[in-house]
A and B are shown apart, each in its own frame.
Chain A
Amino acid sequence: MEHFGFDDEDLKQRHITNRVNAPRGGASAADGRVLEAEEEEEELTLKYGAKHVIMLFVPVTLCMAVVVATIKSVSFYSEKSDQQLIYTPFTENTASVGRRLLNSVLNSLVMTSVIVIMTVFLVLLYKYRCYKFIHGWLIVSSLMLLFMFSFMYLGEVFKTYNVAVDIPTVLVLVWNFGAVGMICIHWKGPLALQQLYLILISALMALVFIKYLPEWSAWVILGAVSIYDLLAVLCPKGPLRMLVETAQERNEPIFPALIYSSAMAWTVGMATPSDTQRSDTVSVCVFIVCVCGGEAVCVYLLYVCVCVCACVGGVKLGLGDFIFYSVLVGKASVTADWNTTLACFIAILIGLCVTLVLLAVWRKALPALPLSVTFGLVFYFSTDFLVRPFMDSLSDHQFYI
């Protein structure tokens, strides 16, 4: 869910230059010049758009690359585990196919309803200005992600490569990673590092989903969440849309931490009042608490981010979008070969491109999940069931095209 912004200052300059440089003429010539100026504005929008589309491709690709690289090398994340999240209570180890399908649909209904309830809860919190609560929630969630999941991840990587590591070194590594991450995300830090941390926590989250969601449920959940995204952002009574409208009414910037921004948008505290008024970003985060077997209670975080940015350039993409894209590509790489993985990756990028073009045309917050996930799912199933057997039998018969 992103919104376009482009540099208004730059445009104003252009307008002024146009009017100054154009020769004085009659009414028809003036109309012609106005048209020209409008065309230039359109061109500028698209040019800025193209640059920022490319700037979004890089982090999305990076996130997916981290997830796929981990899955291919660390077997822990592709092993089936008996533990399931309490949000997918129906098991998939059933005898019949029909039963399994039913269970996965029920799982996705449970998961989606949890997300809806949490989002509505958060909208209410925001409406009644319980900012401290939300802020505390965000901090606890990022603490969990940065320390616990990275600790788990590091342990699995060391086990995979069969190296001996001592506890003090591990503690220093995890402490450094986590503390600098908290500082960069919630306080002040270099933009590149902040973006890198956001990419890494999205990848960690996606890996956890890939590990703990049962096979068929994961695919159905992807579909269900993208439908929910579509409804929540575009329907008049959707929670995310209400959130956006409340944020716009209040004209206040909060939670800049959990949106990936392609440009240096955060000028809060440094810019003039008019700038800060126009830069709002709201992030909605949903906590899902889960009990993993007999282990400690893990706090899973699902970010469903909506962003409204109308100022200093840059396109913003919510972390939830990163996570679900990576889940799709990660699942494709677990269960299928490289052809399918690449096909899904390209499908997601195509979807992202189309979404950003629509963003440039409509200029309001849009859901980023539906198009990309639809293309991704279509490509996954068609490649896995149609293209792969075709390529296999082609190479069986030594027929190269």
Chain B
Amino acid sequence: MNLERLPNEEKLGLCRKYYLIGFAFLPFLWLVNVVWFFQEAFIKPAYSEQLQIKSYVKRSALGLLVWVTVLTTWITIFQRFRAEWGEVGDYISFTIPLGTP
């Protein structure tokens, strides 16, 4: 789908929907929102809906950053302390590596 051919209100509507749906544990959707609407929000010459699109893109980027931080922290903790957690570690593991830890 080409953003160029959409009228501005529809662009705003799409950006907003992507932002709202991203709250369902979908940081990837926020990433797509940021990348796709980046040019619309920051590089194109100003038009009436651009301010709102800009705010949605910024909020999506913020949410994405929060998610990335949380995930990175959690993965680091898991990788470092999994062996020491014993049974609980095994319980929440999806794949358990072979060999000595």
Residues of A within 8 A of B14 (CB): 188
* Residue with the greatest number of chain B CB neighbours at <10 A, chosen from A166, A176, A188, A194: A166
Flag whether A168 is at the interface (Cβ < 8 A).
Answer: yes
- Cross-interface CB contact of B95 among A155, A188, A190, A271, cutoff 8 Å: A155
Flag whether B43 is at the interface (Cβ < 8 A).
Answer: no
- Cross-interface CB contact of B26 among A180, A191, A193, cutoff 8 Å: A180
Docked CA distance A23–B32 (Å): 54
Residues of A within 8 A of B2 (CB): 191, 264
Main secondary structure of the interface of A (DSSP, over half): helix
Flag whether B42 is at the interface (Cβ < 8 A).
Answer: no
Is the Cβ of A164 less than 8 Å from the Cβ of B28? no
Docked CA distance A170–B94 (Å): 7
- Cross-interface CB contact of A167 among B29, B82, B92, B99, cutoff 8 Å: B92
Residues of A within 8 A of B96 (CB): 164
Q: How far is the CB of A381 from chain B (nearest CB, A)?
A: 39
Q: How far is the CB of B76 from chain A (nearest CB, A)?
A: 11
Flag whether A177 is at the interface (Cβ < 8 A).
Answer: yes
Docked CA distance A29–B71 (Å): 73
Docked CA distance A166–B78 (Å): 8
Flag whether A16 is at the interface (Cβ < 8 A).
Answer: no
Residues of B within 8 A of A177 (CB): 28
Interface size of B by CB at 8 A reads: 29
| Binary CB contact string for chain B from 40 to 57 against chain A (1 if under 8 A, 0 otherwise) | 000000000000000000
Residues of A within 8 A of B92 (CB): 166-168
Is the Cβ of B1 less than 8 Å from the Cβ of A266? yes
Docked CA distance A158–B6 (Å): 41
Docked CA distance A315–B77 (Å): 49
Report A155-195 residues with CB < 8 Å from chain B CB: 155, 158-159, 162-170, 172, 175-177, 179-180, 183, 188-191, 193-194
The verdict on A164 contacting B95 (CB below 8 Å), with A188-B1, A190-B1, A193-B32 known, is yes
Residues of B within 8 A of A81 (CB): none
Flag whether A113 is at the interface (Cβ < 8 A).
Answer: no
Is the Cβ of B36 less than 8 Å from the Cβ of A158? no
Report A180-222 residues with CB < 8 Å from chain B CB: 180, 183, 188-191, 193-194
Is the Cβ of B29 less than 8 Å from the Cβ of A179? yes
Docked CA distance A158–B75 (Å): 14
Q: How far is the CB of B81 from chain A (nearest CB, A)?
A: 11
Docked CA distance A149–B21 (Å): 24
Is the Cβ of A180 less than 8 Å from the Cβ of B29? yes
| Binary CB contact string for chain B from 51 to 86 against chain A (1 if under 8 A, 0 otherwise) | 000000000000000000001001100110010000
Q: How far is the CB of A106 from chain B (nearest CB, A)?
A: 39
Closest to A175 in B: B25
Is the Cβ of A167 less than 8 Å from the Cβ of B5? no
Docked CA distance A308–B12 (Å): 33
- Cross-interface CB contact of A169 among B29, B36, B74, cutoff 8 Å: B74
Docked CA distance A171–B23 (Å): 16
Docked CA distance A165–B96 (Å): 7
Q: Taking beta carbons and an 8 Å cutoff, which residues of A are in contact with B? A: 155, 158-159, 162-170, 172, 175-177, 179-180, 183, 188-191, 193-194, 264, 266-267, 270-271
Q: Taking beta carbons and an 8 Å cutoff, which residues of B are in contact with A? A: 1-2, 5-6, 14, 21, 24-29, 32, 35-36, 71, 74-75, 78-79, 82, 92-99
Given contacts A169-B78, A179-B29, A188-B1, 10 further A-B contacts (CB under 8 A): A164-B78, A164-B79, A164-B93, A166-B75, A169-B71, A179-B24, A190-B1, A190-B32, A191-B1, A270-B6
Q: List 10 A-B contacts (CB under 8 A).
A: A155-B95, A158-B94, A159-B95, A163-B97, A165-B93, A165-B94, A169-B75, A179-B24, A180-B29, A191-B2
